[in-house]
Structures are given as C-alpha cells and as structure tokens.
Structure 1
Amino acid sequence: MPDPIKNLRKADIHLKGITAYLSQAESHQIIFMEFDEDVELQEHSHESQWGVVLEGGIDLVIDGVKQSYAKGDRYFIPQGVRHSGRIYAGYADMTFFNQPDRY
C-alpha cells in the first residue's frame, strides 16, 4: 500500500494475517486490506459492501452462489445478504461499507 494509505488509522479487524487501514466518513467506511495468509470467512451479514480486488484472489459465496474474484474484479454484497468465503495469501482490496461503524 502507498504511504497515504499506510498513514490512515489501522482498522481493528479480528482476522488472522490481515493488515487493514480505515478511511472514516460520517455515513460509511472504506477499508484497504492486505492478507499475508489464507483466511476462511464464516457466514455473516451486514450493511451493503462493494469491493475492488487490487491483488491476489478471493472466493465468495454470496446468497448461496460461489464466485471467484481476481485482480481488477469488483463484487457487491447487498444489505443483509448472508455471505462467506476464502481469502488467499497475497490478497489485497479496497472495500466500501455502507455503514459508519463496521470497524
């Protein structure tokens, strides 16, 4: 990540192998995440989420449909939709959360 991102506050995300930086706004958050090991995401839901894959890969199961995403891909998870997945070591993304207090 470039220095302007690294100068943001670190996000308090309880996943192994993650480094994450938080851009906070009144109505939403943008998180810049990097993973240095594989991580399994347990099924959960929250407000809507939109992400752009910057490096590596992720498998997401969104509302029962599995799809793989790689560098340059975008994904969207609507509000309240159950989702889970697998993040692979080397993955990095920029994610918009439509809530001000996700992290």
Structure 2
Amino acid sequence: MLKIFPEPVINLPEADIPLKGISAYLSQGENHQIIFMEFAEDIDLPEHLHESQWGIVLEGKIELTIDGVKNTYVKGDRYFIPKGAKHSGKIFAGYADMTLFNQKDRYKEKR
C-alpha cells in the first residue's frame, strides 16, 4: 500500500492497536491522542465504547454503526462518536484517517 502520511507523521511513535494490516502513528497530548491510521486489509470492528472520538477520512471508506445508526464515510467526510456511544464498523482496505480520541490513554506506544 502506498503510504499517504509524510515524514513528520511516520516519525511519530507507532501506536499499539491490535488489528491486522494497520499502520498507526501516535501523537500524544496531555489529555487526548491523535492517531494517524491506514489499513492494508479489510477489518470488522466489534461493538465497543469509550470516550468521544472524532475522525476525518483521508482515503477509502469506512462503515460505522453508532448507537444503532449505520453510515458510510468516504474521503473528506468527518464522523463523531460521542462518549459512551456503542459503535461497530467495517474498515475497507486502503482506508486512512486522522482520529482524535478525547482520552489520553486510549492506545499505548508500540514497544
């Protein structure tokens, strides 16, 4: 897969996200995280919940079901998942986004 992120992003620490085919880079804030993600494989995300999440689709397509409402997001779209909202989804190979997690410890740095 062609990398879409520039050197300043790929020089960030890798995020330890337990999904197949993902490349993820972590920008750690005091009270939040920004994750730059790209996927080489289709991924099914089981239903889960956490603090709020806001993302911008940079490439490809994702289907998200948030509190029972299913939507498809493509390049240029934004999505928001409120704190505590149950959500699941399907990420398609070639998908990339930038996601803000309103949670300082959502993901750890890959060791």
Question: Following the alignment from structure 2 to structure 1, what is the Cα–Cα distance between the partners of residues 69 and 25?
Answer: 29
Question: Following the alignment from structure 1 to structure 2, what is the Cα–Cα distance between the partners of residues 82 and 17?
Answer: 24
Tell me the TM-score normalized by structure 1. Answer: 1.00
Question: Following the alignment from structure 2 to structure 1, what is the Cα–Cα distance between the partners of residues 29 and 79?
Answer: 21
Which string of whole-angstrom CA distances, capped at 9 and with x for unpartnered residues, describes residues 45-71 of structure 1? 000000000000000000000000000
Query: Gaps (5+ residues) in structure 1?
Result: none
| Structure 1 residue runs of 4 or more that deviate by more than 6 Å after TM superposition | none
**Structure 2 counterpart SS, 1:9:** coil
Mapped pair 1:95 → 2:99: yes
**Which position in structure 2 is the counterpart of 1:57?**
61
**Which position in structure 1 is the counterpart of 2:16?**
12
Question: Following the alignment from structure 2 to structure 1, what is the Cα–Cα distance between the partners of residues 62 and 21?
Answer: 14
Query: Percent of aligned positions with the same letter in both sequences?
Result: 72
State the number of aligned residues: 103
Tell me the TM-score normalized by structure 2. Answer: 0.92
**Structure 1 counterpart SS, 2:16:** coil
Question: Following the alignment from structure 1 to structure 2, what is the Cα–Cα distance between the partners of residues 40 and 68?
Answer: 14
Q: CA RMSD in A?
A: 0.2
Question: Following the alignment from structure 1 to structure 2, what is the Cα–Cα distance between the partners of residues 99 and 85?
Answer: 20
